[in-house]
A and B are shown apart, each in its own frame.
Chain A
Amino acid sequence: MRSLFLALACLLASSTAWAKLQVVTTTTDLKWLAEQVGGDLVEVESLSSGGQDLHFVEPRPSMVMKVKRADVLVRIGLDLDMWADSLVSASRNKKVVYGAPGYVDASVGVERLQIPTDKVDAGMGDLHVFGNPHYWLDPSNASIIADNILEGLVRAEPAKEAAFKENYWKLLRALTEKLKEWEKKAAPLKGVKVVTYHNSWVYFAKRFGLELFGNIEPKPGLPPSPSHVNKLIAMMKEKGAGIIMAESYFPLKGARMVADKTGARLVVVPSSAGGLPGVRTYFDVFDQVLDALLDARGGKP
């Protein structure tokens, strides 16, 4: 009898899960934002973890099943998560193919930075033809991302539009509060000279007024070469860059060496929810990064 109840409970739980709109995202930040907009009406899975380099996610068959079940796919776009294309093809899910109502490119409407204006080729490293794709690292872009997600959810489930909109506005109110808090907190960082490992913090720097003047990578995606590192060290000494930012997944040997030679502080930061222990949400990412930068600058977080 007990087994029967258990089986019924499982059946009920699974049917409730399936009644929810199934959303799959390519990143954990998009997952968190989709959960905020979808609320209890959606079930969201991310194809990558927060500690992964999003240029380097290996598509695998188990991910195909997540995409196959999805009503909505939310992706970063701008050719960052191109690995998702092979998963969509393999899943044969008509609902989430490019152009279908369940396909959400979160970058639509974002003001893109560093759009190449000349010929692009592999000699320039892993350059993205549509501009720098790390736009979610400007938290004000979360409103645009959330808007794209909202539209996708409404297309997939028009009957629940009112509930989605209510969640969306709740998220925007929370975001407004957090933006005020982060702007205030980041005030001492204005004009601070920062070197980053990869060219991924331009949106963040623009939002909070940091001055970026170099990367540990000589060109996007390439490993640091001795000549580049030497040049960078000389520049950092000359210009007084005191902070090096590196995402938690990058190899830190080169960055540590530069830090040692220049006296700069190496700050290991998450670039997505789940990127470091304790960084569970998209908002946590900015809390953590700003605290770490303030700490490195010598001010209290």
Chain B
Amino acid sequence: MMNALLILSALLALPASAEDPSFTTGTMETAAPPQGMRGRPINLPDISVIGVMDGHLSDYKPDTAKDKFEFEEVETAFQGFIYPEVRADVFLALHKHGAKYEAELCEAKASFLRLSEGLAAEVGKIHVNFGKLNKMHTHHRPMIDQPPVLTNFLGEHGLVGQGGTASYLLPLPFYLQAEAGAWQGEGHEHEASGKTTVVDTAGNTVEVPIYQESAEFSLADKVFTGRLKASFAPTDKSELELGSSLAAGHGAHWEEHQDEAKVYGADLTFKLWPSSYERWAFQNEYFHLTRTVPAGRLQRDGLYSFLNYRWNKYWDTGARFDYAEGAFPTQSIERALSALVGYHFTETTRALVQYKYRRINGGTVNEGWLQLAFGLGPHSHELE
């Protein structure tokens, strides 16, 4: 028997723990299992830099950003665990605003990954989990521009809040996650174009800032959000995701407009993987905005529908249809068709080209972008 075991060990180069059938390994006697190699054996967070360069062509004459190729954004990320089952992710961005680069705390959050069975929470400054695209950082999205429905109803930089959110993965045989958040919403700051004097209801003359009606709409002040997301795998090679979202709060310029707003969202995504690298993704989001102002109630709709096909490990192509009404009393409707081609050098380095044909209030605009985005270092985002 001993000989047989020696031969067996020699043949298989067995680990020491398995040489004797009646073995009891040291690792079994301790609570912690042997851990494999992961990350780097130094006490540093994962540090990464994402750089995004954009070139933009347009036949829309008033567009001040057209016919330029420039560094659009640099995002630096620091990510890691700060306590067992608690991680921190800090994303600092320098991005182009007009002619200047401005620093911004893009996201900074502590994530409590397992508060109890199925329950997790995040606190900090966070891209709110509303629909499919809002949570994704721009360099991670499969398109260069933001669909106008997000810009019109959630703001140019999407719905970003300071606050917290709790999510619960329901104990069901299929994926169903419910999430609720409370935020101090940050309407992206825009300077007033000037001041004027008006007579208030008490008959006093007061000075007020002038905000142009065309300034973007976004939710701000106390914002409450909710999201329900379900997912099913009809086959081993496909996934169907359904989601509904709600955000309620004041408009960003509430003091001027006195507006209460609610944005309802519904999304549907179907993905199909015919082979290891090939993938079809059909992603759709529909938003409905109700905005109650002293003069009455606005109701606006918007959607996008995006079809993406990755035909091999490196190349993908896509097309998107947009329909978005403006969030302001003056009716404006934008329809657009986009076509995209992308080449992915690595997971975080890519080149994208996008053409977009827009019809807005009867006028047409042709636009094109070239985007080069690169990643340095280990950069990760949670499951989206």
Contact = CB atoms under 8 A, between A and B. Distances in A.
Interface in B161-201: 169, 173-175
A126 B113 CA distance: 29
Nearest to A97: B85
Interface range on chain B (Cβ under 8 Å from partner): 35 or more
A49 interface: yes
Contact of B239 (A62, A108, A152): A62
Interface in B24-41: 25, 27-28, 31-38, 40
A126 B114 contact: no
Interface in B343-384: 346, 349, 376, 380-383
Nearest to B39: A79
A109 interface: yes
Interface string A145-158: 00110111011000
Interface stretch (B12-20, B70-78, B95-103): B12-20
Nearest to B17: A147
B239 A61 contact: yes
Interface string A168-182: 110011011001100
A89 interface: yes
| B25, B32, B169 interface centre (most CB from chain A within 10 Å) | B169
A118 interface: no
B320 interface: no
A249 B276 contact: yes
Nearest to B171: A68
Contacts of B17: 147, 151
A94 B31 CA distance: 14
Given A87-B383, A103-B33, A155-B33, A251 B11 contact: no
Given A60-B231, A64-B175, A98 B239 contact: no
B68 interface: no
Given A53-B277, A90-B382, A105-B37, 15 more contacts: A62-B174, A62-B175, A62-B233, A64-B175, A78-B36, A86-B382, A89-B383, A92-B169, A105-B34, A148-B34, A151-B27, A165-B21, A168-B18, A173-B8, A175-B12
A108 B175 contact: no
A239 B207 CA distance: 86
Given A65-B173, A77-B38, A176 B12 contact: yes
Given A60-B231, A89-B113, A107 B37 contact: yes
B117 interface: yes
A109 B84 CA distance: 26
A91 interface: yes
Contacts of A221: 346
A107 B25 CA distance: 17
Contacts of B118: 68, 92
Contact of B32 (A51, A99, A152): A99
Nearest to B172: A65
B366 to A, nearest CB: 32
A122 B349 contact: yes
B69 interface: no
A167 to B, nearest CB: 12
Nearest to B116: A92
Interface of B: 8, 11-15, 17-18, 21, 25, 27-28, 31-38, 40, 85, 113-114, 117-120, 169, 173-175, 229, 231-233, 236, 239, 241, 271, 273, 275-277, 279, 312-314, 346, 349, 376, 380-383
Contacts of A191: none
Interface in A130-154: 130, 140, 143-144, 147-148, 150-152, 154
12 contacts: A52-B276, A58-B279, A62-B232, A65-B173, A78-B37, A105-B36, A106-B36, A143-B13, A147-B14, A151-B17, A179-B11, A251-B313
B275 A51 contact: yes
A94 B173 contact: no
A64 B117 CA distance: 14
Nearest to A53: B276
A59 interface: yes
B12 A56 contact: no
Nearest to A168: B18
Contact of A176 (B8, B85, B382): B8
A171 to B, nearest CB: 11
A77 B37 contact: yes
Given A86-B382, A101-B33, A107-B37, A65 B18 contact: no
Contact of A126 (B40, B346, B383): B346
